[in-house]
Amino acid sequence: MVGGRSLEALKKVATTAVVAIAVLLVVRGARRIDWADVLGALQGYDFATLMAALALVIPGQLVCACFDLIGRHATRHPVPVPRVMLISLTGYNFSLNLGALIGGLAFRYRLYAPYGLAPMTIAQIIGLSVLTNWSGYMLLAGLVLAYEPPGLPTDWGPGPAVLRWVGIGLLVVTAAYLVLCATRGGTRVRWKGSVLRVPTLQVAAVQFALSIASWSIIGALIVWLLPGDVGWLTVMPVLLISSIAGVWSHIPGGLGITEMVFVTLLGQRGGDSELLAALLVFRVLYYLAPFLVALAAYAYLTATARGVRVGAGPESGS
């Protein structure tokens, strides 16, 4: 018990230290930015450009609304498909803006609880949704880092050789998951009194397709908003690195961290002000606007949950 408490205290101290370092780096970077130039670059976006960007946001969000359908298929719970998609979309945007532990996971659990699903069923739905989101990331990051790792600043630590081995490791994990699904897919595993089903290879293929589509659309949106002729293949490695840096920083939404990584790695291709303006527009369109929709959806889902009729349906604990 004492050892457990000490470990928890150590984790809290380490997390606090990481957040403090991340905030310090963001503040330092912000002081070097000419915010008047950023404002000027923001004013340069016309209505047609923003509407075209929004046309990319909508399918990207719809893809994420399908994440929880993987869990519905696996657990065979009876919550209607449209409501599952709305819960998935809401949970995704809460996670994106507030962080997984603070936002998405807890809110997703609350949204499923009124339908009488067993806690382990909800946990499996959430787990499969998280796995779906990151499955394509592991494949894309693995390919990028193993084939042509980006050159990071020397004070960031990992060099190309280390990044290449990280990429190979991600590809090995991806391959292991696919082999598991191919050989043990559909197998029931009993854990803590509940039955968990290993996804089949077909389900895994859907997971990867949804995830790759999601990350690719995010990359395409950033490319559209960036100045100059920066291509998708140039943006994707930076996006993948910034995403994991945001998770590592424990700052909700990776606010400031994403921007710092992009400015550091792509700043030489254009002015920092134009690049930062593009990222701010991206954050408004892909983070803030969908989050406002998610807030309204959360209110709607909680207010109408009792009026939704669901059948008995098999549970993962049956």
CB atoms within 10 A of CB 78: 17
Number of domains present in the structure of the chain:
1
What does the alpha-carbon distance between residue 278 and residue 49 come to, in Å, rounded to a whole number?
Answer: 11
Q: What six digits make up the tokens of 88?
A: 């998935």
How much is the pLDDT for 196?
Answer: 74
Terminal Cα distance for the chain, rounded: 34
**Residue 54 domain-assigned?**
yes
Task: Work out the burial of residue 295: count CB atoms within 10 Å of its CB; fewer than 13 is exposed, 13-18 middle, 19 or more buried.
Answer: middle
**Residue 238 domain-assigned?**
yes
pTM: 0.86
How much is the pLDDT for 306?
Answer: 81
- Mean pLDDT, the chain cut into blocks of 10 residues (318 residues total): 57 51 53 68 89 95 96 92 96 87 76 90 91 94 88 73 91 96 84 74 96 96 88 89 79 78 77 86 95 95 81 49
**Residue 4 domain-assigned?**
no
**Residue 213 domain-assigned?**
yes
**Residue 25 domain-assigned?**
no
Domain residues for the domain of 213 are: 33-306
Task: Work out the burial of residue 7: count CB atoms within 10 Å of its CB; fewer than 13 is exposed, 13-18 middle, 19 or more buried.
Answer: exposed
**Residue 114 domain-assigned?**
yes
List beta partners, residue 191: 194
CA distances from 184 to 171, 178, 250 (A): 19, 10, 35
CB atoms within 10 A of CB 144: 21
Distance of CA 107 to the CA centre of its chain: 16
How much is the pLDDT for 18?
Answer: 46
**Residue 15 domain-assigned?**
no
**Residue 316 domain-assigned?**
no
Residue 219 amino acid letter: G
What does the alpha-carbon distance between residue 236 and residue 146 come to, in Å, rounded to a whole number?
Answer: 14
How much is the pLDDT for 114?
Answer: 92
User: In 3D, which of 286, 238, 292 has the Cα closest to residue 265?
Assistant: 238
Q: Are 241 and 294 in contact (CB under 8 A)?
A: no
